[in-house]
Structure 1
């Protein structure tokens, strides 16, 4: 009987595993948990990165479209055409050639303008400074000395600046406004409302 008992291995009186075996089992479980969760975390990160990348691309595209629209608007409503000069709400064109009053008016109309109309002192001062040494036709005319001066749109001139001479077509010289016969060749000045004013339908102010 004692020999039989001696041949049997010694058993732990507690039914729980030894501490070393317990630690190994817990370590194995932790590795399993980490191994099972890591791919999920990786996929999640990839998903977040993909979403953020798509958002950045969409935002860049939206900004590009907005920039294109702004450029388009700027092109559409450029204040004055090329070779024209803006003053106040109007654009002025100074010719480099000479012609009579009628042909000068025709040239302005081809550019959707009229021979220059001067509506305030600022415009008059500018035109006198910018025209240089040359005399330029402007849009004032009359049928005879018995009739009032009118602009090309038939609006009467209020004579705020006297027009010298006895002829029926006005031009701008260094000293102010003067008159000459229609067939005299001079340079000319065209004027029209700028794009912003046309868009807003800003009327002329009388001068």
Structure 2
């Protein structure tokens, strides 16, 4: 009996040891650290920077292309206007700066040349805005006067029985401005005596009085003749 008990105890101990060893072996894989895997599809910092740079370059190229296209279209339009203005007939003359056998400065037919500009006197009276529109449709603008010589030139070919719009107006607060954005001389001496004299008279005509030719401010809706001006065409 004593030997049997001993055998049973030994057997139980052996089985207990085996069971413990198996449990430790089975649990062992759970203790192994698993490597950290980065999420697929996440771009690196370098790739993001390259994409941003590419996008910036693309936008810059598109902006430059649009600006170039607008400038090119404007140039074509200006050439078309000049072509239309000639009416297939130009009055040209050669000056000292022209190369030999070359014609330099031209004005459309019925336009009067003076210095570097051409001048056209309209026949039909119109308001200031309509007068400027008519000049603009011919590639010109209402006349801008900066010198006594230019004033004397134009008055010699104007009819003293009429008044003519020029390109001077007051946008407000008696701040006179030329239509071509050139500076206005505050000390201009072309005004008639006592002019300008009306806050509601924001446009300017050139007309003849007993004292001679001079400027006079008028309401812009008054219909008058006008003088258009454009730069000479150089060939």
Q: Could you say which TM-score interval applies, normalised by the shorter chain?
A: 0.5 to 0.7
Check whether the contact 2:120–2:228 (CA below 8 A) recurs between aligned residues.
yes
Give the match for residue 177 of structure 1: 215
Give the match for residue 90 of structure 2: none
Q: Does 1:124 align with 2:131?
A: no
Q: Deviations over 1:33-54 (max 9, x none)?
A: xxxxxxxxxxxxxxxxxxxxxx
Alpha-carbon distance in structure 2 between the residues aligned to 1:152 and 1:113: 11
1:50-65 paired onto structure 2 within 5 Å: none
Q: Which has the higher strand share?
A: 2
TM-score, normalised by the number of residues in structure 1: 0.55
- Tell me the CA shift for residue 155 of structure 1: 2.8
Q: Does 1:110 align with 2:137?
A: yes
- Tell me the CA shift for residue 78 of structure 1: 4.8
What is the RMSD of the two structures over their aligned residues, measured on CA atoms? 2.1
Structure 2 portions without partners, runs of 5+: 1-98
Give the match for residue 157 of structure 1: 184
The higher relative CO (CA closer than 8 Å, separation ≥ 6) is in: 1
Q: After TM superposition, what 4+ stretches of structure 1 lie above 3 angstroms from structure 2?
A: none
Alpha-carbon distance in structure 2 between the residues aligned to 1:89 and 1:162: 21
Q: Deviations over 1:18-45 (max 9, x none)?
A: xxxxxxxxxxxxxxxxxxxxxxxxxxxx
Give the match for residue 187 of structure 1: 225
Q: Give the direction of change, closer, same or farther, for the CA distance of 1:79–1:154 in structure 2 (3 Å limit).
A: same
Structure 1 portions without partners, runs of 5+: 1-69, 200-207
Check whether the contact 2:171–2:177 (CA below 8 A) recurs between aligned residues.
no
Give the match for residue 52 of structure 2: none
Q: What SS is found at the alignment partner of 1:93?
A: strand
Alpha-carbon distance in structure 1 between the residues aligned to 2:221 and 2:174: 20
Give the match for residue 89 of structure 1: 116
Alpha-carbon distance in structure 2 between the residues aligned to 1:142 and 1:155: 14
- The alignment of Structure 1 onto Structure 2 pairs a total of residues equal to 124
1:40-55 paired onto structure 2 within 5 Å: none
